[in-house]
């Protein structure tokens, strides 16, 4: 007799584990099937290790600029094994925390590859080949994605890597960057310790390694969907409606497996929408055009909602305001004056700035500052409403407040 659950989830990444935790918090009995480690791409091969390594780069930069703050630290050098150990420690700590949380919420986790067998049945095969059959009144498909490669650049364990191998590398690459655009690569010829990448037109470039960064493909093929009736599009994404229902009753799909923004927090949100749908709570569909986006470059980039152009294309007359970090006290204290905040609002009949449609930021720690811009856009708040609130001083986030305040027609500092 198969083990029976309210919900069986295949895939324990951000989409799957969010659905598991949220569903368990609502009192549902949950089975979570994971063939590797809970946490998925995000925790083990994505968001967390990538940002952890970027933080080492930030410390390196800070040390090299310490003298401008009157701190003599000498030129920084990297002890890469320590960097890697720290990254692994952070990832391991979060992984153990997540596993503990799932246990404490009484989520039943099954180690193995889950295949959807139709009619609420999921067959789990573990690494020794033993199978367990689970049945769920509801099934959530959350198997995520994997890096794409291109012909002639298959991962070879030596020169060609994707983000998976880069984040697991144990050697620090040599310095140097030469940007070429508008030209295709056709293949590469390995030498002894370097490889030669052929560019269209005959030129060849010698490199230490090749990182293929051409996007990710959904992992629908691991689910055995043939014959189950679940529709998959020509790119391999499982087809869903506004609340992540597939075309088969009682079966949902979320996260990178579906053609929505491939972001961990979108996976979390989709997991919660599905659980609320299962509970009959008629969840509000996710506004995919207003989700938060963050790029962890230096300076950082973050945005939510319309750009100036997309707002105009959508038929809005707009009022736009921009303020630069070089006028912000905290940014100068940090020595990070580059960047700006741009707010786009709908122009009312009186010509004044009304509803906030989009917030765009480039500058220091803007990924941490986007939150209130995201809330303003999604709460459909007006400039007057947001301008009435106080921003703490001195903070980087004052610049968002200042930008919105100026749109009322009366600003303070800018
Ligand atoms: C380098 C990198 C950096 C990133 N940085 C960010 C970031 O900063 N912010 C952000 O929001 N997003 C980021 N992402 C994207 C984010 O990692 C993904 O959007 C997110 O992990 C998707 O979650 P998911 O649950 O859909 O899939 P995944 O995280 O891929 O998890 C799917 C899980 O399903 C398991 N699985 C697959 N098939 C089966 C099967 N048949 N049976 C059992 N288990 C199975 C896999 O082992 C995996 O654990 C990054 C991605 C990469 C690659």
Residue ranges per structural domain of the chain: 3-144+219-286, 151-211, 290-406
Pocket test for ligand 1, best of 18, 102, 143 (most atoms within 8 A of CB): 143
Nearest protein Cα to ligand 1, atom 1: 46
Helix (H) or strand (E) holding 132: strand 131-141
What's the rounded mean pLDDT across residues 6-14? 98
Of 307, 305, 407, 303, the C-alpha closest to 348 is 407
At 172 the pLDDT is 85
- Residue 125: pLDDT above 80? yes
Distance between CA atoms of 273 and 277, rounded to whole angstroms?
6
At 198 the pLDDT is 96
**String of b and e for 61-86 (b: at least 16 CB within 10 Å)?**
eeeeeeeeeeeeeeeeeeeeeebbee
What's the rounded mean pLDDT across residues 242-254? 98
pLDDT band at 289 (very low <50, low <70, confident <90, very high): very high
**Measuring from each residue's beta carbon to the nearest atom of ligand 1, which residues come in under 6 Å?**
10-16, 33-36, 40-42, 45-47, 50, 113-114, 142-145, 163, 219, 222-223, 255-257, 262-265, 267
Phi, psi values for residue 300, rounded to 5°: -75, 160
Ligand 1 midpoint to CA 165 (Å): 15
What's the rounded mean pLDDT across residues 193-214? 94
| Alpha-helical runs (H) found in 348-394 | 366-378, 383-387
Distance between CA atoms of 265 and 232, rounded to whole angstroms?
23
Q: Looking at 152-166, 173-187, 262-276, which range is the least confident one? A: 173-187
Per-residue pLDDT tens over the stretch 20-68 = 999 999 999 999 999 999 999 999 999 999 999 999 999 999 999 999 9
| Alpha-helical runs (H) found in 40-114 | 40-45, 47-64, 80-104
Helix (H) or strand (E) holding 295: strand 293-295
Which ligand 1 atom sits closest to the C-alpha of 11? 34
Pocket test for ligand 1, best of 8, 9, 12, 13 (most atoms within 8 A of CB): 13
Ligand 1 midpoint to CA 261 (Å): 12
The residues carrying an active-site annotation are 393
Classify domain 3-144+219-286 by CATH number.
Answer: 3.50.50.60
Task: Report the sign of the C-alpha dihedral through residues 32, 34, 40, 43, in that order.
Answer: positive
Instruction: Check if the beta carbon of residue 109 is closer than 8 Å to that of residue 102.
Output: yes
Distance between CA atoms of 373 and 375, rounded to whole angstroms?
5
Ligand 1 midpoint to CA 119 (Å): 26
Which ligand 1 atom sits closest to the C-alpha of 39? 49
Per-residue pLDDT tens over the stretch 133-153 = 999 999 999 999 999 999 999
Pocket test for ligand 1, best of 8, 14, 134 (most atoms within 8 A of CB): 14
Which ligand 1 atom sits closest to the C-alpha of 14? 25
Distance between CA atoms of 194 and 197, rounded to whole angstroms?
10
**Is the model's pTM score more than 0.75?**
yes
Task: For residue 214, give every residue at least 6 positions away whose Cβ sits within 8 Å of its Cβ, in sequence order, or none.
Answer: 148, 149, 150
What Rg, from alpha-carbon coordinates, does the chain have? 24
Ligand 1 midpoint to CA 16 (Å): 10
- Residue 2: pLDDT above 70? no
**CATH superfamily, domain at 290-406:** FAD/NAD-linked reductase, C-terminal dimerisation domain (3.30.390.30)
At 163 the pLDDT is 96
pLDDT band at 174 (very low <50, low <70, confident <90, very high): confident
What's the rounded mean pLDDT across residues 338-358? 97
Residues found in the chain: 414
Ligand 1 midpoint to CA 219 (Å): 10
Per-residue pLDDT tens over the stretch 396-411 = 999 999 999 999 999 8
């Amino acid at each position: 007799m198969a083990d029976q659950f309210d919900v069986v989830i295949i895939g324990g990444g951000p989409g799957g584990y969010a659905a598991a935790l949220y569903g368990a918090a609502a009192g549902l009995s949950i089975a979570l099937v994971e063939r590797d480690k809970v946490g998925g791409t995000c925790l083990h091969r994505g968001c967390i290790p990538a940002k952890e390594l970027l933080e080492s780069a930030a410390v390196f930069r800070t040390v090299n600029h310490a003298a401008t703050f009157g701190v003599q630290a000498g030129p920084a050098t990297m002890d890469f094994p320590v960097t890697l150990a720290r990254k692994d420690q952070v990832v391991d700590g979060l992984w153990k925390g997540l596993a503990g949380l799932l246990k404490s919420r009484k989520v039943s986790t099954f180690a193995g590859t889950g295949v959807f067998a139709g009619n609420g049945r999921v067959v789990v095969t573990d690494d020794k080949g033993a199978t367990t059959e689970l049945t769920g009144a509801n099934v959530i498909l959350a198997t995520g994605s994997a890096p794409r490669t291109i012909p002639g650049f298959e991962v070879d364990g030596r020169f060609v890597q994707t983000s998976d191998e880069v984040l697991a590398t144990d050697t620090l690459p040599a310095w140097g960057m030469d940007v070429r655009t508008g030209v295709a690569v056709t293949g590469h010829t390995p030498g002894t310790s370097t490889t030669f990448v052929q560019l269209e037109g005959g030129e060849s470039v010698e490199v230490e390694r090749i990182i293929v960064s051409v996007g990710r493909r959904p992992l629908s093929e691991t689910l055995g969907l043939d014959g189950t009736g679940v529709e998959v599009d020509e790119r391999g994404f499982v087809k869903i409606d506004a609340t992540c229902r597939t075309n088969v009753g009682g079966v949902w799909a979320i996260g990178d497996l579906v053609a929505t923004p491939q972001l961990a927090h979108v996976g979390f949100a989709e997991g919660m929408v599905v659980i609320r749908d299962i509970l009959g709570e008629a969840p509000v569909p996710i506004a995919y055009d207003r989700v938060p986006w963050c790029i962890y470059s230096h300076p950082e980039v973050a945005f939510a909602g319309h750009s100036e152009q997309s707002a105009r294309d959508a038929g809005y007359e707009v009022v736009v305001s921009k303020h630069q970090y070089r006028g912000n006290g905290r940014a100068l204290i940090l020595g990070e004056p580059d960047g700006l905040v741009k707010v786009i609002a709908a122009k009312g009949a009186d010509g004044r700035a009304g509803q906030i449609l989009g917030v765009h930021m480039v500058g220091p720690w803007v990924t941490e500052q986007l939150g209130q811009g995201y809330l303003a856009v999604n709460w459909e708040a007006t400039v007057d409403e947001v301008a009435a609130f106080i921003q703490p001083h001195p903070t980087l986030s004052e610049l968002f407040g200042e930008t919105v305040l100026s749109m009322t027609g009366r600003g303070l500092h800018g």
